[in-house]
Amino acid sequence: MDELAPAAYAALIAPAIDRVFAETMLATRSMGGRELSESFGGPPAVGFLIDLRTRLGAGESVTPGQFAAVRRYGDLAKAREILTGQAERGMLTIAEDGTFRATDRGREFLSALYDLHTQVTATLWVGFPVPRLSELAGRALAVASDPATWAVTADGHALSAMLPVPDPSTRNGVTLLNRLGTLRYHRADAHAAAWQAAGRTAADMATLPVHSAVRIPIEQETNRGAAAPWTALRPAERLEFLAGLAALPCAAS
């Protein structure tokens, strides 16, 4: 059962989480998401609201440092221009120090998005043990949300831009989707800490082959840094969670 030890399991569960989250978000576009986005001004108006929906939807603000950590692999200056455009479209307000939050219209969009995610997940995941998977994800997220488990990064923590995660008890599909999406950032910060400690940059990581001699120890350290949430689950529960996510259908028919 060594593969179910927390650090080894962190490597196994990451692609399963990524698949469910990414494919479900993609399915949402073809199941009404594209039309919903256009009704609020399209991607130029809502892009970062979707990305940061858990925190912004909870009425919280996102600081410039948190935003920079989320965008550590991209063009931050361009991202800030897009953010300004979303504010000009009435979806966000940006304070003088760069901190931003959703406007009433922005929160209206997020409420509609949650309604759509409810419909999408109910359609895709009917008959699957979503409440149980959501519970397991919630226990892992409770540990991930504790700053004591966060890796030491040089550029802040992207996870902090996603917390707190709303917990609508009657929306198990949305709850699971949000918990999975947020758990990804605990690992993302662990990965950043690992390559930063190795003296690498975000640009380096974009070009290093997956199985290169340089990258392998970085990925191993990432797994160690991403292990803490999985201590919340017993080995049998880790296997249950992995198998449960693998079984979830996430593509629109």
* Average pLDDT across the chain, whole number: 94
For residue 153, being part of any structural domain is answered with yes
Beta bridge partners of 94: 100
For residue 131, being part of any structural domain is answered with yes
173 contacts 118 by C-beta, under 8 angstroms? yes
120 contacts 31 by C-beta, under 8 angstroms? yes
Tell me the pLDDT tens digit for each residue of 110-125. 999 999 999 999 999 9
Which whole-number Å values give the CA distances from 235 to 5, 8, 33, 204, 240, in the listed order?
7, 12, 37, 35, 9
Q: What values do phi and psi take at 249, rounded to 5?
A: -80, 135
The series of mean pLDDT values per 10 residues for the chain, 253 residues long, is 87 97 96 97 95 95 97 95 97 97 97 95 96 96 97 96 82 92 98 96 90 91 98 97 96 70
For residue 155, being part of any structural domain is answered with yes
Domain residues for the domain of 230 are: 2-247
Q: What is the pTM of this model?
A: 0.95
Q: How many domains does the chain have?
A: 1
Tell me the pLDDT tens digit for each residue of 124-177. 999 999 999 999 999 999 999 999 999 999 999 999 999 998 776 667 899 999
Per-residue pLDDT at 212: 87
For residue 252, being part of any structural domain is answered with no
For residue 253, being part of any structural domain is answered with no
